[in-house]
Amino acid sequence: MIERAACAAVTWQLITGTTIDDSRAAIALADEHSGLFATAGLHPHSARFYSAALEAELRDLLAHEQIKAAGEMGLDFNRDFSPRPEQERAFEAQLALAAEYKLPVFLHERDAHERFLPILKSFRDTLPGAVVHCFTGSREALFAYLDLDCHIGITGWVCDERRGKSLAELLPNISDNRLLLETDAPYLLPRDLPQAPPKKRRNEPALLPWIGQRVAQLRGQETQQVAAMTYQNALTLFR
């Protein structure tokens, strides 16, 4: 998979940690392979497990040199796999950790904008950066996050002619210096791939250029322009 990504000119990857175990595994991969980096955090689906002991483990992970962001963290009121008060508690605690460790945050928000925004806003001045990952929200939400100087992560969701239409229409409103591209692999395989999809419909980092090409079309820009500016934005955000 790493070789296929390199052949597609994907020069580095950020592996997302969503639990303590997944964050450890991400760091182990990043230690083993050049061009791989990691995040460490607790996804809102698992927020019910946040505790003092877990926070102590998370602190150790956030101090690792391969960690470039804290998260994935946030709120998910769509699935509600963890009670909403527990999600908010874990989100606030992780934002405080990110501020302490001077790390940008990798954010998840689904159907929770009204609660997510004020929590993020209360910490935003203490954070070196933030990306609202896999953004699929409303125009109101987009402008609210841009007003907080957040980066906006765009995935292959825009390649879905059914679900991605409203997001596609919003893309020109994202300023050049706030746009990021991501695959959300192994999820969100682009629906408009001309070739046969990978086995089990698994998305891969090698497909990032396909997403970039589609984003460029929707923004009325050249593909290489979008590639260059999103690459630089990622370097800047994740340092």
State pTM to two decimals: 0.95
pLDDT exceeding 90 applies to what percent of the chain?
94
Q: What is the CATH number of the domain that holds 43?
A: 3.20.20.140
DSSP string, 50-73: --HHHHHHHHHHHTSTTEEEEEEE
Alpha-carbon gap, residue 110 to 124, rounded angstroms: 19
Tokens 């508690």 found at = 89
pLDDT in tens, 139-156: 999 999 999 999 999 999
> What pLDDT is stored for residue 58 in this prediction?
98
DSSP strand E in 111-219: where? 130-132, 151-154, 179-181
pLDDT in tens, 18-38: 999 999 999 999 999 999 999
Alpha-carbon gap, residue 107 to 35, rounded angstroms: 22
> Given pLDDT bands bounded at 50, 70 and 90, which one contains residue 4?
very high
Q: What is the mean pLDDT of residues 213-231?
A: 97
Domain range spanning residue 170?
Answer: 2-238
Q: Within its chain, how far is the Cα of 104 from the centroid? A: 11
Query: Three-state DSSP class for 153?
Result: strand
> What pLDDT is stored for residue 194 in this prediction?
83
If you average pLDDT over every residue of the chain, what do you get? 96
Asked if residue 42 lies in contact with residue 80, where contact means CB atoms within 8 angstroms, the answer is no
| Residue 88 labeled ligand binder | no
> What pLDDT is stored for residue 196 in this prediction?
66
Bridge partner list, 15:
38
Domains in the chain, number: 1
| Residue 184 labeled ligand binder | yes
pLDDT in tens, 103-123: 999 999 999 999 999 999 999
> Given pLDDT bands bounded at 50, 70 and 90, which one contains residue 167?
very high
| Residue 108 labeled ligand binder | yes
Query: Three-state DSSP class for 27?
Result: helix
- What does each C-alpha distance from 197 to 193, 202, 205, 236 come to in angstroms? 7, 8, 14, 32
The two beta strands, 36-40 and 13-15, are: parallel
> Which residues, other chains included, contact 2 with Cβ-Cβ below 8 Å and sequence gap of 6+?
13, 33, 35, 36
| Residue 133 labeled ligand binder | yes
